[in-house]
């Protein structure tokens, strides 16, 4: 095979990986516009609505570390193809779920498949692209495919909900998975660690149980209240288990995670920043579709279309960060990106029941621009520290920490929203109104009570505002940390030089 042919094959392989990541990006947010429909058709309360997302992200975070290690040992391409097949089967199960419990279970299986797809598709990048500049460009494409899928999910999901039944929002995964699997089988080379070791089963179990307990505790606190003993027992138990996991990893002969990775500044701060950016992303996707539908009264498709400014912002942010990374390095890109996110979310926190759409579109576009700048930069900072031998486990660790932060973030933010919503309801704080704004709006409309409707909507807006202020704080903190801790251009050049020598 000629050099030119091999070069084309590498980029075609990247296209196959990007298609797989687009599927995951769509699946993460397509659920957001379906939440009101699911609340009505499946009779789901606020806690179950949170679990539709949290079951997916919890399993995703918990299973990612062993998935990356297994890929290093048995072959990344082999496991990636199996995960694509499982993702398609789980999507079918989601589509035909008969109640909330079945959908939560199917979403958990979907998360298991995604837990393998994400780190192993990322782990192939250092194998395909040894040159630092090519690797940076490939990583931007890989990240962008997921980022573009996030706002496309609500748009496509809204159109499907307006024309078909709610299960159709999960069926869109199936043809994409089939195409992606064929492309991966043909184009992506097999790779594995030269000297694999026995997987750390104890570490995998401990990390999974710890994340489950912590997230369950936060979700139940939002449902039962912060005085619930069960909630605090789960939170404390989960935290203790994660602490035990950290101790075990330092002493295990073959640990699940390579703790030495955290000695590298870029990896350490890159993973921290990926966790913080999730607060801003989930804050928008969890509240804004509900605001459009329950407060403004638009349908599912209209809700998705109103998120289109996010795509425009993403494209602009990605173009800006590409220039900044080459000319000035990660630090300015991260500082500007996080500051932009904080400013945009602060504007979002001032949103009232009936502002002009241009105001909402403006801050949504700014959130997109901030995400477009931050996401490629933080991933680049972290992945530059990985050698080919550590590609699977290292990529899994990056993504697991990111998803764990997202899972806990959804639980915390959902709790903030639910607690403020109920506190503002006053005398209306009883089931089913207290289950969430969608149920409250349905009750008010059924009763033909405009005063009740206004009260429910205002209570939700108060919760949304507080939630977005929390997101603003996390992004502002990240901007300050980036000023002090993010690698400069020289730091990254040194890392790239070291990486290219190590890979070669």
Other CB atoms within a 10 A radius of the CB of residue 396 amount to: 29
Q: Is the pTM of this model over 0.85?
A: no
Q: Are 342 and 350 in contact (CB under 8 A)?
A: no
Return the biggest CA–CA distance within the chain: 75
b/e sequence 477-498, b meaning 16+ C-beta within 10 Å: ebbebbeebbbebebbeebbee
pLDDT score for 338: 92
Cβ-proximal residues to 177 (8 Å cutoff; 6+ apart), any chain: 20, 23, 84, 85, 87, 88, 91
Alpha helices in 384-436 (DSSP H): 391-425
Per the listing, tokens 């969430």 go with 436
pLDDT score for 389: 56
Nearest to 195 by CA among 72, 68, 76, 71: 72
User: What single DSSP character describes residue 174?
Assistant: H
What is the chain's mean pLDDT, rounded? 79
N- to C-terminal Cα distance for the chain?
20
User: What single DSSP character describes residue 189?
Assistant: P
Residue 388 to residue 262: CA distance in whole angstroms: 17
Q: Are 308 and 151 in contact (CB under 8 A)?
A: yes
Nearest to 491 by CA among 258, 260, 261, 267: 267
Instruction: Provide the residue count of the chain.
Output: 504
**What pLDDT digit, counting tens, does each position of 236-263 carry?**
998 899 889 888 888 877 777 777 777 7
Q: Are 150 and 28 in contact (CB under 8 A)?
A: yes
**What pLDDT digit, counting tens, does each position of 113-157 carry?**
988 888 877 777 777 776 666 777 777 777 777 777 776 777 787
Confidence of residue 187 (pLDDT cuts 50, 70, 90): confident
Residue 68 has which token pair?
Answer: 């990356």
Cβ-proximal residues to 251 (8 Å cutoff; 6+ apart), any chain: none
pLDDT score for 90: 92
């Amino acid at each position: 095979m000629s050099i030119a042919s091999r070069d084309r094959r590498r980029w075609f392989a990247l296209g196959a990986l990007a298609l797989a990541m687009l599927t995951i990006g769509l699946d993460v947010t397509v659920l957001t516009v379906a939440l009101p429909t699911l609340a009505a058709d499946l009779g789901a309360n606020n806690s179950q609505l949170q679990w539709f997302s949290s079951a997916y992200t919890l399993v995703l975070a918990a299973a990612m570390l062993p998935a990356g290690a297994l890929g290093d040992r048995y072959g990344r391409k082999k496991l990636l193809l199996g995960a694509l097949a499982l993702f398609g089967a789980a999507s079918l199960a989601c589509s035909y779920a008969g109640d909330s419990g079945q959908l939560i279970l199917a979403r958990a299986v979907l998360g298991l498949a995604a837990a393998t797809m994400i780190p192993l598709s990322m782990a192939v990048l250092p194998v395909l692209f040894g040159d630092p500049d090519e690797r940076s460009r490939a990583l931007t494409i890989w990240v962008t495919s997921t980022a573009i899928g996030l706002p496309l999910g609500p748009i496509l999901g809204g159109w499907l909900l307006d024309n078909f039944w709610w299960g159709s929002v999960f069926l869109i995964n199936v043809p994409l998975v089939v195409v992606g699997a064929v492309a991966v089988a043909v184009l992506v080379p097999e790779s594995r660690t030269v000297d694999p070791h026995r997987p750390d089963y104890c570490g995998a179990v401990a990390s999974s149980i710890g994340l489950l307990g912590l997230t369950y505790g936060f979700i139940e606190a939002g449902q039962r209240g912060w005085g619930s003993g069960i909630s605090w027992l789960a939170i404390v138990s989960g935290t203790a288990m994660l602490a035990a996991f950290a101790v075990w990893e330092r002493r295990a002969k073959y640990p699940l995670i390579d703790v030495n990775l955290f000695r590298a500044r870029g990896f350490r701060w890159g993973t921290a920043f990926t966790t913080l950016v999730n607060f801003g992303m989930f804050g928008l996707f969890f509240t804004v579709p509900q605001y459009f539908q329950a407060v403004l009264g638009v349908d599912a498709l209209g809700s998705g279309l109103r998120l289109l400014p996010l795509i425009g912002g993403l494209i602009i942010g990605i173009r800006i960060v590409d220039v900044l990374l080459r000319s000035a390095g990660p630090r300015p890109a991260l500082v500007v990106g996080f500051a932009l996110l904080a400013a945009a979310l602060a504007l979002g926190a001032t949103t009232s029941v009936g502002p002009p759409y241009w105001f909402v579109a403006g801050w949504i576009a700014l959130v997109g621009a901030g995400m477009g700048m931050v996401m490629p930069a933080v991933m680049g900072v972290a992945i530059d520290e990985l050698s080919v031998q550590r590609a699977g486990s290292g990529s899994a660790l990056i993504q697991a920490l990111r998803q764990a932060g997202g899972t806990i973030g959804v639980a915390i933010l959902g709790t903030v929203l639910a607690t403020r919503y109920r506190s503002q309801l006053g005398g209306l704080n009883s089931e089913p109104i207290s289950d969430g704004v969608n149920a409250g709006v349905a009750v008010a409309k059924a009763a033909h009570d405009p005063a009740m409707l206004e009260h429910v909507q205002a209570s939700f807006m108060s919760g949304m505002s507080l939630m977005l202020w929390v997101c603003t704080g996390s992004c502002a903190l990240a901007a300050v940390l980036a000023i002090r801790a993010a690698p400069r251009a020289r730091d990254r050049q040194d890392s790239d030089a070291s990486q290219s020598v190590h890979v070669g």
